[in-house]
Structure 1
């Protein structure tokens, strides 16, 4: 039987500081089916894992990621904002996360969101693809973005890559991006789920974000949606066992 996959949003974001190795380690520990993370480029062209365009919300620093070198970013405390006991947490590079997954024998799906809808980082698509390439024999990678040009570029660079369109508003559920490039997954916000075509008619996987409340999890599980992206993977896995028996 097909079952709903549980994807840990920015790691176990509800229980650890988001997008840190500590959060990804927790997602692995509870046996999440997948892990979602966000990437930007530092001033010196390193692919770093953080959600916002600035470091202000989730670190001890201030400023745009694009204006800071990797060394400067590594000096920031990326955990104390969540809980002082995580004061050693740092902004990881994508390479560090890939190594962590490989070292822990992860065989699920890694969803890399390229955050190019505000700044179009030069050559970020090439860099992300090159970093992920050596790991594709061990686990699968889905590349998602709100930015159509990024997804088109991913496909142009590596045709066999799986791309997924992120959207948070009704009417944005495109099936293709033009130039003959088909969308291979929809990543909608939970609040617009009801506005989408019937699930059984959707020819591409639905991976819904961010599913945290009990009632939201129940909706996804009872409709047997492909995946739910959640800040609480352990909680979601427990609920799946109750509803889907897996």
Structure 2
């Protein structure tokens, strides 16, 4: 979903939707039109390799993923690093708060042996390293784990690295981060992320109407939703589309039947820990 016209989409309709987001931003694709969603490896092939590391991203493409998703923080010395948790205890074995550390401090730990002995010595990757690991024509989904302060440094990195050879999508839970991305990087598609919670009144929120409103307020190009089949159905997607949201992806989908369900609903992507399992189910 960027200005690159060589992206990996299989059906002709999908290629049009993703290759030309600016000119086709207001084209409505009816959910009954068959599409094949892109299979995105969640933190890389994270079922088989240590998440958010170069081995996980490289393995994802060996497993025929259409793209990879990684999580990014801004360090105290202005570097963008790939890591999911706020601190390094779970994957690095020692508790360091990522945003309060320098890159050198974070690289003093290793991030692989918690997964398996063969990954011992794996280091935390920078944004540049992850970007450069993505093959031409594949998708790189950039999840921003912090606030708008990361967007200007991200723009500087992309200005230096990006020449349209890969397909970019930025995602974030924080609405102000989404809005800042659309301000500074208007040519790159951005999805607002949301999970769902049932209130004391029995209503699951956000509703489709509330999602559509957030997208309007932030200028987001679509939404990424926790893939809950008891919430997201034909009626939910129809309401999203009535609200102007014509693009959605779902996470984290490891059951092939779930992947097929969301493909039928018209998801543009399914994010999974097991691309080797989910990929064949939707292609």
Bin the TM-score by the shorter chain.
Answer: 0.7 to 0.9
- Listed as ranges, the matches of 1:32-43 within 5 Å are 32-43=65-76
Q: Which has the larger radius of gyration?
A: 2
What does residue 188 of structure 2 align with? 161
Query: Normalising to structure 2: TM-score of the pair?
Result: 0.76
What is the RMSD of the two structures over their aligned residues, measured on CA atoms? Answer: 2.2
Alpha-carbon shift at residue 199 of structure 1 (Å): 8.4
Moved over 6 A (4+): none
- 1:3-38, CA deviations, whole angstroms, 9 ceiling, x for partnerless residues? 111011100111110000000001122231121111
Q: Distance in 2 between matches of 1:17 and 1:110?
A: 18
Task: Provide Cα deviations, 1:112-143, integer angstroms capped at 9, x if missing partner.
Answer: 01102xxx37x310111221233241012111
**CA shift digits 1:156-184 (9 cap, x unpaired):** 11222211010001325522548864221
Tell me if the contact between 1:176 and 1:182 (Cα under 8 Å) persists in the aligned partners: no
Q: Which runs of 5+ in 1 are unaligned?
A: 242-246
Change (3 A) 1:106 1:83: same
Cα deviations by residue, 1:59-96 (Å, 9 ceiling, x for unpaired): 12212112221111112110111112111211100011
How far apart, in 2, do the equivalents of 1:179 and 1:226 lie?
19
Query: How many residues align structurally?
Result: 234
Unpaired runs of at least 5, structure 2: 1-10, 12-34, 197-204
Matched, 1:91 2:117: no
- What residue in structure 2 maps to residue 231 of structure 1? 273
Contact 1:107-1:138 within 8 A present in 2 as well = yes
Counterpart contact for 2:39–2:272, Cα < 8 Å: yes
Q: Provide the C-alpha distance between the structure 1 equivalents of 2:185 and 2:263, rounded to a whole number of angstroms.
A: 33
Q: CA deviation at 1:235?
A: 1.0
Q: TM-score, normalised by structure 1?
A: 0.87
